[in-house]
Amino acid sequence: MSHAVLDPRVAPEFPKAALPVLRDTQLRKNVAHATDVIQAKRAKLVAEKKDWQELRTAAAAIRDNVLGNLGDYLEQFEERCTAAGGQVHWASDAAEARRIILDILREEQAREVIKIKTMTSAEIDLNPALKSAGVHAIETDLAELILQLGKEEPSHIVVPALHVNRSQVREIFSKSMHLEGLSDEPQALTAAARSYLRNKFLTIPTAISGANYLVAETGSVVIVESEGNGRMCLTLPRTLITLAGIEKIIPRFEDLEVMLQILARSATGERMNPYNSLWTGVTEGDGPQRFHVVLLDNGRSEILARKTERQTLRCIRCGACQNTCPVYRQTGGHAYGSVYGGPIGAILTPQLMHMEHAQSLPYASSLCGACYEVCPVKINIPEVLIELRAQVVDQDRHKTSRLFDPMYMGMRMANSVFASAGRFRAAQRLGRTALKPFTGKDGWIRSLPGLGAKWTITRDLRGLPEQSFREWWEKQGRKMP
Amino acid sequence: MTVATSSRQSILDRIRKATAAGGGTGDDELQRGYIRKGSLNEDERIALMTERLREYDAEVVESGVADLPATIAAELFAGGKKVLAAPQGLPAQWLAQGVNWRIDGNLDYAELDGVEGVVTAASAGIAESGTIVLHHGPQEGRRVLSLLPDWHLCILRASQIVQTLPEYFALYPHPPALATMLSGPSATADIEMTRIKGVHGPRFLHVVIVRDAAQTRTGATSSAGAGQAG
């Protein structure tokens, strides 16, 4: 199994990070199997929904409305949540969010916390911060538990351990839970996780969660899940801390009628997740009596300001784009060097990094558009990818290193050649002579030396023809206009 | 405190600046062209609800209103359940004889973890996705009550079943403060996408669908699983 680096600030560029994965046939098999299964289930359940396109349209409109009026909705959420007994905190960046959470934990004198799967907590590197503050975090989602005990990194936003197969899970569990003779049947492995976590649920008084939706109208929070570990964390502890990106807002309770219909179908290929939980602040006699929401910006308000890129924030983290992406399906998530991999990660990660890191990710796509087609909130991912590519190019437009970069030298040469008819014709004649020795009898070039090999190593190149159209035309005795 | 306040202000300022140019649609312009109203009659709704619940491996039986206590008792005895929890508001006639009932007032987690099951009512059913909704009122109990016991018997009245999810939301112009939607028993597919029933939530979900509207017409007789004509 690979030990991936999921910090965009230090992760290697995508093409480099992808290489070891492409050689790991077991990992590729695991990823292909999981994405095939989810895709087939999703396709079946989307097909039975006659109003699927109308639901997508409404979902995109709801999300756009949220983003266009985000300030008002956040204030409304804060007011209602506070009125219901919750406490709302605002965090400009990851460091501030970590500080807020650690302060609350210190006040609670917490030595241990139980956690529901939250990608946002991975985004802000919460677990390492908890560890250095002496707080033991226990992941309770089965996939997250596998990753935590196996010291692995998540590779998918919905099924984070999809790159790990049953015998690998067996190995991890039998070692860390001291269970000898554990079978590799998923049923037995799941039962092992159940008994491992049961007592922790019953006794640990502090929990940390993410959020799927924050309802502005009521101040409620919604979490969808399958296993019941979420319900345990949301119900049993004395104190609950919810970390949520500021874009997780939906205006009204009623909007869930759209969001819940598209989310489960897109994410796991189910008509509905086994469990959806909604709660509002604190309810006397039911669930945690201390409730904190940490609203996280961490680059989101910058994305909001950009016209083409704003749609990135419509995302509801269903992962459908990952399952369908021909690039992700080959590389899995780790090659993206971020907790957010796949097409959505390719646009979200560099933007969350203020375009200062992960600049190779917008190129990790063939622009085939499959992600746009399945996206339940209609994010035009290819459009954003192209916009970000342009920004990456613009970033080093004035760098001196560009002067001597072979690619840019070639581009400058091409610029000068294409700018003049004379130079263009001279280049054609020169090219014909120069390429002749490499051109086969069938007119194809299969191998070039030096820089040209970068092309021919993976594809053939058409040789230059004996004469150009211009030359043929002139030979016919006709005049150039 | 000042740091927190200033972060709040700076985030809101950045958002307001980013959205000042407009671009967000007003709420009134939202297109809601999706299907909101269902087209099934009550029998068809019940049949769909039953089918979907069974797809989740939930056990489903039907009952009339008058024979509901007998149906509940039969379910409990068939499951061999002797020690059961129940919310305070559960109707007294549902509490079958011969069972050691732990009525929830302030049962602690260890007690709840030790019972063999729980019986609750429901707030709504959504047939299309086989979903049961609990709003955690007196008949459904607090959230932990239907979470810790491994076996959950849920009493759902036919008149509470809607076909589509939007129909459920239309029923509640005043949103509940708490809601749990159950679509089958706890499950995971995290290991090789193999669906495994029962991770942390109750592993067994039994549902009694009570034909409360049909009861007056048919004279309170009904049998488990049999669809009634008109």
Tens digit of each residue's pLDDT (9 = 90 or more) over A393-452: 898 877 888 888 888 888 889 999 999 999 999 999 999 999 999 999 999 999 999 888
ipTM, two decimals:
0.90
More confident residue, B218 or B154: B154
Cβ within 8 Å, pair B142-A286: yes
pLDDT of residue A352: 96
Dist. CA B181–CA B191, nearest whole Å:
24
Total length of chain B: 230
Say whether pLDDT at A391 is over 60: yes
For A244-290, what is each residue's pLDDT tens digit?
999 999 999 999 999 999 999 999 999 999 999 999 999 999 999 99
Largest Cα separation within chain B, whole Å, is: 69
In a 3-state reduction of DSSP, which class is residue B61? Answer: strand
CB atoms within 10 A of CB A412: 13
Assess contact for B65 and B210: CB atoms under 8 A: yes
Query: What mean pLDDT is predicted for residues A123-140?
Result: 96
3-state secondary structure of A339: coil
Domain boundary assignment for chain B? 39-218
Which tens digit of pLDDT belongs to each residue from A320-339? 999 999 999 999 999 999 99
Is B183 close to A260, i.e. CB distance below 8 A?
no
Please write the tens of the pLDDT for every residue from B17-66. Answer: 999 976 555 555 677 899 999 999 999 999 999 999 999 999 999 999 99
Residue A30 forms contact with B (CB below 8 Å):
yes
User: Is B182 within 8 Å of A274 when comparing Cβ atoms?
Assistant: yes
Token pair for B64:
């009339």
State both tokens at A247: 């874009």
Q: Is the pLDDT of residue A11 over 80?
A: yes
User: What is the spatial distance between Cα B82 and Cα A444, in angstroms, rounded to a whole number?
Assistant: 82
Residues in chain A: 481
Establish if A104 touches chain B: CB-CB under 8 angstroms: no
- pLDDT band, very low/low/confident/very high, at B185 (cuts 50, 70, 90): confident
Please state the rounded mean pLDDT for residues A101-108. Answer: 98
Q: Check whether B227 has a pLDDT greater than 50.
A: no
User: Which comes out higher in pLDDT, residue A399 or A243?
Assistant: A243
Tokens (6 digits) for B219: 């004279």
What is the C-alpha separation between A212 and A277, in angstroms, rounded?
Answer: 10
Mean pLDDT score, A335-347 = 96
Question: For residue B127, is pLDDT > 60?
Answer: yes
Structure tokens at A168: 């690998």
For residue A186, the SS3 value is helix
Give the pLDDT score at B3.
Answer: 60
Q: What share of chain B is helix, strand, coil (3-state, %, to 5)?
A: 35, 20, 45
User: Any idea of the CA torsion for A202, A204, A209, A213, to the nearest 10 degrees?
Assistant: 40
Nearest Cα of chain B lies from the Cα of A269 at a distance, in angstroms, of 11
3 state SS of A275: strand
Is residue A1 over pLDDT 80?
A: no
Nearest to A65 among B30, B34, B36 (CB): B30
Mutate to test the interface with B, among A147, A162, A226 (most CBs of B within 10 A): A226
A53: which residues sit within 8 A by CB, 6+ positions away?
none
Mean pLDDT of chain A: 94
pLDDT at B4: 60
CATH superfamily of domain region B39-218:
NagB/RpiA/CoA transferase-like (3.40.50.10420)
Nearest Cα of chain A lies from the Cα of B205 at a distance, in angstroms, of: 11
Average pLDDT over residues B141-167: 97
Question: CA-CA distance, A451 to A442, in Å (whole number)?
Answer: 23
Instruction: Give the whole-angstrom CA distance, residue A347 versus residue A336.
Output: 11
- Eight-class DSSP state of A144: H
Q: Is the pLDDT of residue B230 over 90?
A: no
- Interface contacts A/B by beta carbons within 8 Å: 244
Two tokens, residue B90: 């559960």
Kindly give the pairing relationship between strand A112-115 and strand A206-209: parallel
Over residues A341-358, the mean pLDDT reads 96
CB contact under 8 A, A92 and B128: no
pLDDT above 80: residue A480: no
Q: Within an 8 Å CB–CB cutoff, is residue A143 touching chain B? A: yes
pLDDT tens, position by position, B70-116: 999 999 999 999 999 999 999 999 999 999 999 998 899 999 999 99
Q: What is residue A356's DSSP assignment?
A: S
Residues 6+ away with beta carbon under 8 Å from B193: A33, A34, A37, A38, A159, A162
Nearest to A88 by CA among A204, A217, A205, A221: A221
What's A319's DSSP letter?
-
Kindly list the structural domains of chain A, giving each domain's residue range(s) and its CATH number in brackets, ordered by start: 1-48+319-395 (no CATH), 68-301 (3.40.50.10420), 405-475 (no CATH)
Q: Is the pLDDT of residue B217 over 70?
A: no
> Residue B10 has what pLDDT?
97
pLDDT of the residue at A451: 81
